[in-house]
Each structure stands twice: as C-alpha cells, then as structure tokens.
Amino acid sequence: MRRLPVYLLLDTSGSMNGEPIEAVKNGVQIMINSLRQNPQAIETAFISIITFDSSARQVVPLTDLASFQMVDIKATGTTALGEALQLVSNCIDHEVAKTTTEKKGDWKPLVFIMTDGIPTDNWQSGLTAFKQRKVAYTIACAAGSGADTVILKQITDNVLSLDTADSQSIARFFAWVTASIGVTSTKVEDAGKELIGLNELPPPPAELNIVV
C-alpha cells in the first residue's frame, strides 16, 4: 500500500502559551477523529507531528490514523523553525518509502507549518535542506500578527494568515487541513494523482487569508 505521509510542523514557542496551544492540541485531535471517519484517509494517510520551540522534536513519528496517539505539548522557549525544516527533511529521508524499479514508493508528503512568530535560528540553512526534498505541497499558516509572512513565502508559495491566534481561528485552520488531507487522499486513492497546490484544495474559510 502506498502511504500518504503528512507532516505537521507546529510552533510551540512561549508566545503560543494558553489559548493558542490548547487550540492546536484540540485541532489535531479533532482532525485525527475526522480523518478516521474518511474511508480513503484511513487507508492512506499517515500523520507525523514535529514541534519547534528552542529546538525541534518529532513528537509523533509517521503513524497510521488508527494507531495515532497525540502527545501533550507545552508552549515554551523560542522559535527554531530552521531546525524544524532540517528535521522534517531528515524524517522524509528515513520514513518515506522511495519508488524503485520493483515497486512504487509512498506518495509525496504533504507538509503543513503553523507558526505565530519569527524564526530565532538560522532558518535559511534548514530551508536549503528542505528544498532538496520532494513534497507534493507545503502550506504555511501565519497565526496572528506576530508571524512573518515574508519569510514563510520564501518557504512556500502557499501561505495563509490568521488575523488572530485564538481558538476559533486555529480550529478553522485545522478543519481546513483535515479537508485538504481528505481531498488529497481521495485523489491519490481514486485517481492515482498527486495534488500540487492550493488551487486544487478546498477553498479556505473566511478566517484564513491567502497571502499573495
């Protein structure tokens, strides 16, 4: 079976403390529960969670939806986005099966990044590593006014912004991520086609502004 790997890179720096981090945890749990109801997603989607604050950690390795267990995450420290990009690059190398002459590998990964701040490390070196990996698409979400959409636009063309990092906005973002994973898993399962960008995904809700 060809898996559809999904990597969520979540900002857990100190500024996410309180309502935002709780909303992220709820958002992930609701996303997993919704995807478990989707017959295509349950067959193909595998989810990994990478958090980044003063350092980056893969808190959930690439896991099928049935076995997925969310871990508790706390908000503290700074914003090591570059380290998170380096880490997801390494995870893609180790976890995603490559196509060989004998058999097809996994589908290209989907990468979702959510941050409410500005990177505090050397994000360019992490980005250089990440750009060398083949992904289907990367979506970055700037949560609230503290995030730098100019930096995110250098990571991916697909940047969305939330005016506020409150629980309602974050819940809407995760609902949209859920729908996007659902659509992508259906497309790869039924049509054997990979999606490549925002225009093929469900339209984002009103809370999510597309950054042009």
How many residues would you count in the chain?
Answer: 212
**Per-residue pLDDT reduced to its tens digit, 48-63:** 999 999 999 999 999 9
Q: Which two tokens stand for residue 12?
A: 């857990």
Q: What are phi and psi of 121, to 5 degrees?
A: -120, -170
Q: Residue 194: pLDDT band by 50, 70, 90 thresholds?
A: confident
Full-model pTM: 0.97
Distance CA 41, CA 57 (A): 25
Cα 93 vs. chain centroid, distance in angstroms?
A: 17
- Write the CA distances from 137 to 25, 79, 103, 120, 188, integer angstroms: 23, 23, 23, 24, 14
Burial, 134: exposed, middle or buried (Cβ in 10 Å; 0-12, 13-18, 19+)? exposed
Q: What percent of the chain has pLDDT over 90?
A: 92
- Residue 198's pLDDT band, with cuts at 50, 70 and 90, is confident
Residue-level pLDDT at 190: 83
Q: Calculate ∠ Cα 50-108-198, nearest 5°.
A: 85
Give the CA diameter of the chain: 50
Residue 14 has a pLDDT of 97
pLDDT digits (tens, 9 = 90+) for 80-138: 999 999 999 999 999 999 999 999 999 999 999 999 999 999 999 999 999 999 999 99
d(CA 188, CA 41): 10
